[in-house]
Each structure stands twice: as C-alpha cells, then as structure tokens.
Amino acid sequence: MGMDDTFGADLWRVQKELEAEIQRSEAILSCMKEGILAIDGAGEVLKLNRKARQMLNITGAKVEGAPISFVCGQGELLAFVAEGLAARDNSEREIKLSGPSPIIAMATRSPMFGSGGEYIGMVVALNDITQLRRLENVRRDFASNVSHELRTPITSIRGFVETLLNGAITEPDAARRFLEIINRHASRLSSIIEDLLTLSSLEKGEAIELARQPMLTIVQKAMDGMAEKAEEKHIKMKILCEQGIDVLVNGPLLETAISNLIDNAINYSEEGTTVSVSAERAGEMVSIHVRDEGPGIEKQHLDRIFERFYRVDAARSRKAGGTGLGLSIVKHVVLAHRGNVTVESVPGKGSVFSIHIPIGESQEGE
Ligand code: ADP
C-alpha cells in the first residue's frame, strides 16, 4: 500500500468518525425535551433543535445562518437574545411564546467561548413550564375559592349573632328564626369542610381499600340515605339494578359518589319529578346511571362542572345547600376505581350522570 493510500484511508476514517460524531450530537439535541437555540455573535442562528422549532413555531427548512429576528417573531425571546449578545452573561427569564397554543417558557442563556477564549455567541435553552404554571394557578384559585366559600357563611353567622346580642334575643320568634339561619350556615360550613377533607384524602392518590360486594347493596344504601330528602320534595325515586352484580370496590366511597349524584338530581329538579338510579353490567365494567327530569345543563358547562367549586348557577346551588364540590368528589372516587364518569344532558329535559368502573374480575378467587 502506497503513502497516498494510507493517507486516503486515514482521511476516510476521520471523515466517518466526524460524521458519526455529528450524528450523535444531532441525536442528543433532537431528543432533548428542552428547546435549544445556538446563536453566533452577530445574532445568526447556528443551531436549533426539534423542540425549539416546535416551541417557536418555526417551519422554514433551513434556518441556520439566518438572523434570529428573521426566522422567529417572538418578541420576548428576541429581546432576551439581544440583551444576552450585548451582556454576554448567564441569565434566566420567564417568557411567553405566542402560537396556536401559547407557551410559557423558562429561558436560560449562556455565553459560548472558543478554545482561545474568543466570544462565539450564546446558547438559549427553553423549558416549557406551561403545565406547571397552570397547576399553580389552579392551586391559587382553589385557595381563594375555599376562603370565599368559608367566609360567606361565617359572615352571616356573625351578623345574626350580633343582631341577637343587640337585642333580638328578647324577641323569641325573631330569635328562633335567626338561630335557625345560624344553624343552617353552620351546617353549610361543616359540609364544605367534610367535602374538602374527602377530596384531599382522595387527591393523595393512595390506593383505596377494596372489597367484593353486591352492587345492589351499595346503590340501595345511597338511595336510602336520600329518601327523606326526596320525600320532602315529593320526588319519586326508582331503582333498576341488575341482580347478582358483585363488584370489587370501596363501598363507602362509591356510596358517597352515588349519593352525591342523587343529591344533585333532587336538588336541581322540580317537585313531583322522578329520579331513577340504574346499574347494569357490560363486559368487565359496571355502569351506574342517575337520571333526573331537571333543568339539564347547557353544553358549554358540561366539561367544567366536575371542577372544584364550578357551578352553573351559584345562587341556586347555595340555596340547595350545595358546596360546589360534589361532582369533583364523584370524579375522584371514580378515578380511584380506575373508572370514568360521563354526563348526558338535554336542557329543559333532564340529565343522566353515569359512573363506569371495572368489576374487578381478575381479583376473583384470590
Ligand atoms: P353543587 O354543590 O353546586 O351541586 P356539584 O359539584 O355537585 O356542586 O355540581 C356542580 C354544578 O353542576 C352545580 O352547581 C349545578 O350547576 C350543576 N349540576 C350538577 N348536577 C346537576 C343536575 N343533576 N342537573 C342540573 N345541574 C346539575
């Protein structure tokens, strides 16, 4: 083999190694969940990974070599980059990225220096924190909702106590009426707190205790608990439950969920209507339906009624003694059973809430 051949072979090997190295770097960059953007000292794009393209909504095929301000119209990001090019510093900032679904990103910039210490440009890493911020908002809203819900009955209680102390206590009729109101608000407070405790224990996500039992027993218990309330409102209750369905569930929790649905059905329906509860098996699942002839729910609310404290008509809910937490408890109980809850409603005609949970067949014979 001559000198040239050896040299050619070496060159060939070096080239292959370089290609392999480039491919590895590309693979690393493209699988990162952060958006990575490298920019040279003149503000031109050196490199952009797949995630950064997605986050910045960049569709152009070849963007390397173009000024960043040409390929991307994200104002907050461009300002962050321009500052970084001037200051050559490490820095971090929360920025908004517009697009079909807007993103909140934590942007981090770091300067790049060559082996001789010369400034090459900067790398910007973009972390999508949209979901995190959304959860924080949910939590913040929840805290303010709880405070608001608790403050309303407390304000009333204090007002009536004051009226009593200021003299009403000597007028037996008025005093009795005020005490009844105080009593009602106090029960409301304790319902809210009960519901919050139930929700928070469900939200811990811990496994629930399961036992095999007849579906009919659970449905019957839930109905019995609501019978008096139904009677007061002259609402007929019907039960249609397939015999012989045994389910592996947490009885008290499932009973609470069904009771909450029946409670709503009674609360939102007119006197003299019928509420029916049925349960049937379909394969490995059991479905429990609570049907009413109430006002129904407009389509735009259907997705939201399972959120904590979401109400279609807050005044009506409070008047009926609702806490705004009933359906969110139902949802969590059902999720803890690996099931789902659905609702079908025709405004003016009525609603059907359905719980679908696995029968838990696989556990049989353990
Ligand atoms: P609430 O304590 O207010 O009843 P829920 O979480 O149980 O709270 O229900 C949320 C909202 O969904 C209610 O305020 C009401 O507007 C609506 N809703 C629930 N069930 C029914 C129903 N059966 N018919 C009509 N509206 C309902």
Distance 201 CA to ligand 1 centre (A): 22
Q: What's the pLDDT score for residue 361?
A: 65
Distance 156 CA to ligand 1 centre (A): 23
What average pLDDT does range 101-126 have in this prediction?
A: 95
Distance CA 29, CA 24 (A): 9
Enumerate the H helices of 299-345 as residue ranges: 299-302, 314-319, 326-336
Cα(319) to centroid of ligand 1, in Å?
Answer: 12
Q: Is 294 in the pocket of ligand 1 (CB under 6 A)?
A: yes
pLDDT at 364 over 50: no
Can you give the pLDDT at residue 190? Answer: 93
Single pTM value for the model: 0.73
35 touches ligand 1 (CB under 6 Å): no
Please tell me if the CB atom of residue 292 comes closer than 6 angstroms to any atom of ligand 1.
Answer: yes
Mutate to test the pocket of ligand 1, among 298, 310, 311, 325 (most ligand atoms within 8 A of CB): 311
Distance 264 CA to ligand 1 centre (A): 6
pLDDT tens profile 255-302: 999 999 999 999 999 999 999 999 999 999 999 999 999 999 999 999
Ligand 1 in reach of 354 Cβ (< 6 A): no
**How far is residue 198's CA from residue 110's CA, in Å, rounded to a whole number?**
47
Q: Which residues contact 192 (CB under 8 A, 6 or more apart)?
A: 146, 149, 150, 153, 323, 325
85 CB-near residues (< 8 Å, 6+ apart): 39, 41, 43, 121, 122
What's the CA-to-centroid distance between 316 and ligand 1, angstroms? Answer: 9
Average pLDDT value over all residues in the chain: 92
The reply to whether ligand 1 has any atom less than 6 angstroms from the CB of 298 is no
Q: Which two tokens stand for residue 324?
A: 């705004």
Which residue, 44, 352, 16, is CA-closest to 8? Answer: 16
Q: Which helix H or strand E contains 216, and what residues bound it?
A: helix 215-232
- State if residue 351 touches ligand 1 by the CB under 6 angstroms criterion: yes
pLDDT digits 0-9 by tens, 191-207:
999 999 999 999 888 88
Residue 264, ligand 1, Cβ within 6 A:
yes
More confident of the two residues 1 and 264:
264
